[in-house]
Chains A and B, each alone.
Chain A
Amino acid sequence: MKFDRPAEANASDRLLVLGQPHSRVEGRLKTTGAAPYAYERQDVAEGQLYGYPLGAAISRGRILSMDTEAATAAPGVRAVVTTLDMDPLPKDSHNVNRLFGGADVEHYHQAIAVVVADTFEQARSATNLIKVEYHAEQATLDLSEVTPPETEPAADTGDFDTAFANAPVTLDEIYTTPAQTHAMMEPHASVAEWKDGKLTVWTSSQMIKWWRDALAKTLSLDVEDVRVESPYIGGGFGGKLFLRADAVLAALGSKATGRPVKLALPRPLMTNNTTHRAQTIQRIRLAADNDGKLIALGHDNLSNTPPGGDGEDATSQSLSFYGAPNMRIVNRVAEMKMPESNSMRAPGDAAGLMTLEIAMDEMAERLGMDPVEFRALNDTQVVPSNPKQKFSHRNFVDCLRHGAKEFGWTNPAPASRREGHWLIGQGMAGAYRGSPASTSGARVRLQADGRVIVETDMTDIGTGSYTILAQTAAEMMGLPIEKVEVRLGDSRYPVSSGSGGQFGAASSTAGLYAACVALRAQIAERLQADAATLDFRDGEVHDGTRSVSLASLASDGELVAEDKIEFGEFRSKEYELATFAAHFVETAVNAYTGEVRLRRMLAVCDAGRILNPITARSQVIGGMTMAVGAALMEHLEVDSGRAFFANHDLASYEVPVHLDIPEQTVIFMQQDDPYSTPLKAKGVGELGVCGVAAAVANAVYNATGVRVRDYPITLDRYLDRLPEV
């Protein structure tokens, strides 16, 4: 099915099942421990061995030798495969750093060996017996030491320099965001079986097709000989978009032993071995007239990446969020050999809004304006850098106004409220996140018992895909949700969008919609009726006076239909599709110690049709929680001399705990966006993490009167500027 013009009224609009608050269809399996994650797939292959990885002890250089004698002789060891045993493995286009092979070390904890043994303990202890001799070279990981490369602006409209120079009210500040790690609950883990030239990998992947292609490329296999399965994923946040070393090492271990091998990346290895969100240094310049109308907006971003990567483009939202006639947007990327910086939840916008939305707050204050009104005044219904391109739908101003009302926003003066030892502040911020969509396929199989089975290689990374897909099929086929079985994450199923970039929910439900339309057409053909006049309801098909049960249609064998949705250019070229939110936060800051205790948080989101208010809310509050981490504590500590992230475990990389998170309220402005998909839905999974950190930062400022422009806002950054005690 081609989606080449806005959706009209269709079968999904009934909202009998879609749009309803169904709790997760796989929730029971997960809460009872019956949903198997990759490392628990004992059932899938007999005789599994355990693999354990060894990471490089240096950040850059060469391996001179590896002595594996003691490891090979250790009890239970079946194989030791080292990086010196092979040339660098071919690199898939999605990978920036190499995953294995060869003597060169490009970053700390690069995988350099795998030990396979009968038990996990044997494999782990033998790994430590490998002796490695290195030639170490000086490396760097420190963005502040970099000379920013010359880069063409992504947008240079009007005459930025003149407009900025002549404006009555301006702001020109530098902001920084630190490197962050995904810190998902489930580490990267795989079971691999390499048998008769064919490879099967049971893993934890957000993108089945990407992994399958990447495994074939990396291990020089035909794609047809690779199978990937990943039905349950314990969080990814972008860290599982691209093939990782766990799957490669498990596969190499299996090839070496002729047995299936399971391997998980140990938590302390994950940070430097896999990907992270890059550090950024951002210069933001804003200029406005005395009424608060933005005249100029400049955003200049610097981040770092290994050669060939993209870094963190923190300017992405600045191209479209606020209207300003003069803009200069520059994204600079410094290349250095380092652990791979790559996508992490809302790549670009998350880091960009952390800073832009502080700048907007500062600017509102300089103008003497309420920050809600300042944002509302600078709303735009067209893309400022390309005014011909309109937003398909944009209700940001309603989010702002509705949020202000619900929250009881009063725009208090900075450092004006105190309760005992606590300084009380309120802050707000806007949020923007694009809503892309990509080709997505699905198969539906009507069974003789009236059930429908859905098959797609879509993944559920804890987001609720199982549930919204079940709702989609139920809605389309006129079934209760219990009559739909959803099967995901298997490369034998039709290729979907996968999960990432906030495109998964919108794309995969649209793909399933297409497959259901195909099944409805098949049924219509059987009934010699016009598909458009058929009414699917309560497990039956009604055609005027006639009604037939769905079950009876499949009594001679299942009916199978498959299709995919493909999105036309109008969606990305003629219109800009995005999601919006307004965030409000109240916080207390200890007047003596600077400790921050949030009191309440409100998000008002404009994100198209909400397919399921429960799973959507979970996405948003999860994003808000992650953003509290970004605001207040999360940062990978750069050891610049040794060029690695030093706090590479969950004891030292702190993420929020329950006590850090206050009452969270989420309001969805229910509005269909027919330009998005046939289901008129968009994504919310990344919107929730956008803008929130700045709302927290602005609240801390409002409480203390001390502005911090470097994240995370830990107390050491402002303690010396708090009032004397």
Chain B
Amino acid sequence: MRAFSYERATTPEAAAAAAVATPNAKFIAGGTNLLDLMKLEIEAPTHLVDVNGLGLDTVEPTDDGGLRIGALVRNTDLAADAQVRRDYPLLSRALVAGASGQLRNKATTAGNLLQRTRCPYFYDTNMPCNKRNPGSGCAALTGVSRQLAVIGGSDACIATHPGDMAVAMRALDAVVETVDAEGATRAIPMAEFHRLPGDEPERDTVLNTGEFITAVTLPAPVGGRQIYHKVRDRASYAFALVSVAAIIHPDGTGRVAFGGVAHKPWRVEEAEAEMPNGARAVAARVFADAAPRPDNAFKLPLAERTLALVLAEAKE
């Protein structure tokens, strides 16, 4: 870990301004991802802007019948929120499938969205990695990639977004709200929030330098059976090989987003027309452009079979 300076922000705008004022500054929320990365010098901010004093820790109804989740609502609190459990059980289930109780107590909504990939080479600073060190190459392309992306990757990077919460939010059509140093606000649909790696894998999301997340909003509840199924090598406390976040209505229509397969939560809206026709039909369209590697090709049948399980469970 490199030495850094530290300040506590007083307002979201001030936080954004502080982050722009010092080059290579970072916000720190729960710190559960950032501190680990700093210890390994994968991230080496020179200045930390602590945003924990800003409030932004409530879940409030919105005018159009949805919910506004403050950026600093802890994962534990969000998963346990009565409105979330009643109207957006998919989100609750995805949250509790992630990390561990202790981590969820600290982890925040914004921090969770911005957690970085778990590619083993990203974590080893001796290894070439375009995401960590742009232009250095991608060790995963010639190394082990069992955990990595099967779709949407590039010649520069095949990392995944490793999280669970964002996958549910993608299926729920959530919107990320931000403010920048000038006080300008943006509303970014979850579909556009995470990027594909392309030739800039160092950029995980479309956020600009210093842009601060204030909240995530959910549109009015959509009902249906909401199931999050996360498949991993052990029963708990592991990142997904594949996860499925699905909303299934009694007539068989619905939505589905996949985790663990791409650099972002993977949802193909056009494929959802196939939902009544079953998992195979949906997966064929969702993963039409898949380019798996030999050691992670299993994720494609796994994704299909997991969706099949979820569809079967929805009927029960």
Contacts and interface: CB of A to CB of B under 8 A. Distances in A.
Interface of A: 57-58, 75, 121, 124-125, 128, 268, 421, 590, 592-595, 597, 632-633, 637-639, 641-642, 646-649, 651-652, 654-660, 712, 714-716, 719-720, 722, 725
B120 A593 contact: no
B301 to A, nearest CB: 6
Interface string B103-129: 000000000000000101101101100
Contacts of B235: 595, 597, 657, 659-660
Interface residues of B, number: 39
Contact of B302 (A268, A593, A654, A658): A593
Given A593-B306, A719-B298, A633 B120 contact: no
B56 interface: no
B236 A647 contact: no
Given A268-B124, A633-B234, A714-B233, A652 B118 contact: yes
B139 to A, nearest CB: 7
A57 B127 CA distance: 8
B1 A651 contact: no
Contacts of B313: 421
Contacts of B239: 651
A700 B45 CA distance: 48
Contacts of B301: 719-720
A632 B233 CA distance: 8
Contact of B120 (A590, A647, A657, A715): A647
Given A421-B312, A716-B302, A720-B298, A654 B238 contact: yes
Closest 9 CB pairs of A and B: A592-B309, A659-B235, A716-B298, A57-B126, A659-B236, A639-B143, A637-B144, A725-B308, A633-B233
B3 interface: yes
B5 interface: no
B41 interface: yes
B236 A725 contact: no
Contact of A593 (B41, B144, B305): B305
Interface string B125-161: 0110000000000010011101100000000000000
Interface of B: 1-3, 39-41, 118, 120-121, 123-124, 126-127, 139, 142-144, 146-147, 229, 231, 233-239, 241, 279, 298, 301-302, 305-306, 308-309, 312-313
24 contacts: A125-B2, A128-B2, A128-B41, A421-B309, A590-B309, A592-B305, A593-B231, A593-B305, A597-B235, A639-B139, A646-B120, A646-B143, A647-B144, A648-B120, A656-B234, A657-B238, A658-B236, A712-B233, A715-B231, A715-B233, A715-B302, A719-B302, A722-B305, A725-B309
A125 B305 contact: no
A657 B236 contact: yes
A638 B295 CA distance: 12
Contact of A124 (B1, B229, B309): B1
Given A125-B2, A592-B306, A593-B231, A642 B236 contact: no
B218 to A, nearest CB: 28
A75 B3 CA distance: 10
A642 B139 contact: yes
A652 B309 CA distance: 26
B198 to A, nearest CB: 25
Contact of B1 (A125, A648, A714): A125
Nearest to A129: B2
B3 to A, nearest CB: 7
A647 B233 CA distance: 14
A268 B40 CA distance: 10
Contact of B146 (A637, A641, A722): A637
Contacts of B146: 637, 716
Contacts of A639: 139, 143-144
Contacts of A642: 127, 139, 143
Contacts of A657: 234-238
Nearest to B100: A657
Given A715-B241, A722-B305, A725-B309, 8 more contacts: A421-B309, A592-B305, A593-B309, A595-B235, A652-B120, A657-B237, A660-B236, A712-B233
Contact of B305 (A632, A654, A714, A725): A725
Contacts of B305: 592-594, 719, 722, 725
A22 B124 CA distance: 45
A725 B309 CA distance: 8
A592 B236 contact: no
A268 B39 CA distance: 12
A678 to B, nearest CB: 43
A42 to B, nearest CB: 22
B113 to A, nearest CB: 19
A634 to B, nearest CB: 9
Nearest to B40: A268
A593 B301 CA distance: 9
B306 to A, nearest CB: 5
Contacts of B229: 593
Contacts of A719: 298, 301-302, 305
Contacts of B312: 421, 592, 725
